[in-house]
A and B are shown apart, each in its own frame.
Chain A
């Protein structure tokens, strides 16, 4: 009995060790509102698990609560990484419900949306300090990346010593300028892609496997 118990404990310790080694990395998808974070999260989740993460929309703050897709295993070039994708609300320093009224929304719905958005951003900022192992920072390559929020967020991520990949999304748009993004943040690798069209996803997965494995 004692021998069996010892054997069971030994096996348990070994398997616990294996599982802790293989524990998925929590990769937060951060960026400003409307950069295409949820579209990218859905693209990755669908490609590797068959399921989406959440609804997409052109209205700012469609994602008001972080959504997590667990155990997404990505394999590229002999490297395998299992990640939990955490799709976060777009980070901003201001939320005004009136901007939602422009999207044919009633005042009550707009106020509710802004309340949920502020709670979601606060939560995402807290998690950035406490709960993520790496960051995918998504930017809309057709807009100016030199915003204060982007500069602050990249600085905060760097101060946490978190591995970060910058994705220049929306390369399918006419005004897309990937170089503007790589020039803005030359200390990090910039990967161009269109999450909507699925362009350059091979390189996206290659870099995720390389950076977060």
Chain B
């Protein structure tokens, strides 16, 4: 759901989507928002990432939309897992998924390439459409 259009065809738009905005969407609405943006050749940066269930559905839906010479899929990057789950059992009972609270970058597979990733930095190269 774009609010602004790119000034010219060569530009790459980056949508930085807050956790609050994603919280108000169903899983399928989140996936639709991501894939519609990425299929338009733009990059999505999610403040809080997706749950494992949503990631699984994102891969599944992405696969059903891949088509030759049109859409080859997505590149997705999140900071590596921290194995110390501060939420623990209580967090899981309360429905808090600490692992989902990670900034995530998603873009078209043919335009975005990850150059470097560590616990604090994702470095990506984005080519024009």
Q: CB within 8 Å of B: which residues of A?
A: 91-97, 111, 114-115, 118-119, 121-122, 125-126, 128-129, 146, 148, 151-152, 155-156, 158-160, 186-187
Contact = CB atoms under 8 A, between A and B. Distances in A.
A20 B110 CA distance: 48
B104 to A, nearest CB: 9
Contacts of A151: 78, 80-81
B52 A92 contact: no
Interface in B33-66: 51-53, 55-57, 59-64, 66
Contacts of B95: none
Given A148-B78, A151-B80, A95 B53 contact: no
Interface of B: 51-53, 55-57, 59-64, 66, 68, 72-78, 80-81, 83, 99, 109-110, 114, 117
A146 B56 CA distance: 18
Contact of B66 (A95, A155, A160): A95
A156 B109 contact: no
B83 A187 contact: yes
Nearest to B106: A93
B66 A125 contact: no
B68 A97 contact: yes
A156 B56 contact: yes
A148 B58 CA distance: 13
A118 B64 contact: yes
Nearest to A94: B73
A95 B59 CA distance: 11
A156 B75 CA distance: 18
A31 to B, nearest CB: 14
Given A92-B73, A96-B73, A146-B80, A152 B52 contact: yes
Q: Give the one of B51, B52, B74, B83 with max A CB within 10 A.
A: B52
A159 B99 CA distance: 10
